[in-house]
Structure 1
């Protein structure tokens, strides 16, 4: 392990020799609780096939985790090597050794954690440049789970403290916890332009007392407001057991457990009308005759279900269309099939 006070590099398995690989691009967006979920194996194979036997790198903040070791245990024959890199300061993010570790990757997995730390430590650094080099020049497959998925959107929500919950943003879209929505030249992912993402949509626990479906609708409304009420914005949300795979042509499919619980992906787009009420201290109203936002919902299965074209946000199969709207804050939130 190579270690300094502000970064750690852990080589988990494989050969340290250099290898020349022509990876196949792709993006894997993971809902945030992937451990031992049905569909995880198939999604992992989809991802690793694109690495073409190259170097697999896990990127994170904080401390070294177990993702690289997991790959070594289950997919050793699919990769040349696996390693983890934890970058914990802006100084480390500009370190030439760190940048070289990143640029050598043939497949990149951005771990969960705190997306605010990713923004704080990596944005505007040589690490940011290296990430965009991998995605847009070297064109390797990139996966992100939880916080790692959040920062792949063109817009991303990176709260400094507790994240906003659905009732807070729908009952007041200017709630103080909504001030951490960012758009920048951070990570530039093809097919995710003008998109904000969210994960853990179905999670309910002591820290998350509400599901995040309403939050996703509120985040979409807020980015539209902050971009001078331009309607050409989108949102993608995934439940915890969903693995949303986007190929190099911008076609998405969803891996999951083959049930109707916890493995759905949602593609949100506006339907021609702005929120009717978007004022500080007042519940959001976004009704448009019950058709405010068009949503395509795909339930994942182990084979990779459905098809959604992120080029036109229209061509779709294997799922169904819904309308989402609110006639007044969280209590007025509605979802209806076309």
Structure 2
């Protein structure tokens, strides 16, 4: 692991950004909306990173930020995320770390609002939301998205995108497992996410870690939501209500249109579940 000085990331960022934009928020079209680039974890092929660059407009200028608060090693998370962009000729990527109960400055918040790309690292989605939930950081992310920025994230950074967030914990089986072994009522733990996409619930590493039971449980417990399971090295690009699959593997979409739910000794049952499996390049629409 690289030995990186913790303060160097933010210091360099603040110095460079002070020359990049004024202290006021850049005027943007408040009627436009941004895009979401939600990655299911794993490795990120260069073609995927290149797509992020083009969709965010970084190939034409501006800067991106990495929010590493999900990670237990935030400096390393920034280093490796930034490195993938640097290899493709984009150097204006900066780490911006926040801590819980930090006194927020206008300069740091404006750095979020004015970024063309906001990228949320992997790690633990609960750790990220403990820092940003209900704060001006969360508000700044939403403002950037509404004003046209691309908000992306991988693994834990994918989980936080939806309003209802899967924490990864089982209420009835507190010992951690990367996949659910049962379909049980009142077992899946959820918390509040960023809510950048409100009518779905996201799961990541989906095919690789066989997380079907977890997402099935979610759409039976919360039948008004659409479950989207994103495999590793794969992403969904969200533009309004249109979703495109980007990357190397599959995206599994689960729906419970009849809002069916039945229990027997805590075991879940449902009828009429719809499953669609999408491949790279395919597009679907959220109703």
Aligned length: 265
Q: d(CA) in 2 for partners of 1:129 and 1:273?
A: 32
Which secondary structure does the structure 1 equivalent of 2:108 belong to?
Answer: helix
Which secondary structure does the structure 1 equivalent of 2:227 belong to?
Answer: strand
**Could you tell me which of 97, 105, 109 is aligned with 1:86?**
97
Q: Give the unaligned 5+ runs of structure 1.
A: 205-210, 225-230, 258-262, 313-338
Deviations 1:242-293 (A, max 9, x none): 121112x421111223xxxxx101222213141221x6x622122x2xx3x2
2:162 paired residue number:
153
Q: d(CA) in 2 for partners of 1:121 and 1:163?
A: 25
Does structure 1 residue 33 correspond to structure 2 residue 36? no
User: What TM-score, normalized by structure 1, do the two folds share?
Assistant: 0.69
1:237 paired residue number:
229
The answer to whether the 8 Å contact 2:50/2:88 transfers is no
Supply the RMSD in Å over aligned alpha carbons. 3.1
State the Cα distance separating 1:45 from its structure 2 match.
4.2
Deviations 1:128-176 (A, max 9, x none): 111111112x2211111111110101210124773673214x1x2323x
Does structure 1 residue 53 correspond to structure 2 residue 61? yes
State the Cα distance separating 1:13 from its structure 2 match.
11
**Could you tell me which of 280, 283, 288 is aligned with 2:267?**
283
The answer to whether the 8 Å contact 1:24/1:51 transfers is no
Deviations 1:198-224 (A, max 9, x none): 0001234xxxxxx112211112222x2
Question: Structure 1 216/274 Cα, relative in aligned 2: closer, same or farther at 3 Å?
Answer: same
Which secondary structure does the structure 2 equivalent of 1:157 belong to?
Answer: strand
**Could you tell me which of 119, 135, 138 is aligned with 1:128?**
138
User: What TM-score, normalized by structure 2, do the two folds share?
Assistant: 0.80
Deviations 1:275-316 (A, max 9, x none): 221x6x622122x2xx3x21222111xxxx111112x2xxxx
The answer to whether the 8 Å contact 1:58/1:108 transfers is yes
1:71 paired residue number:
85
The answer to whether the 8 Å contact 1:198/1:237 transfers is yes
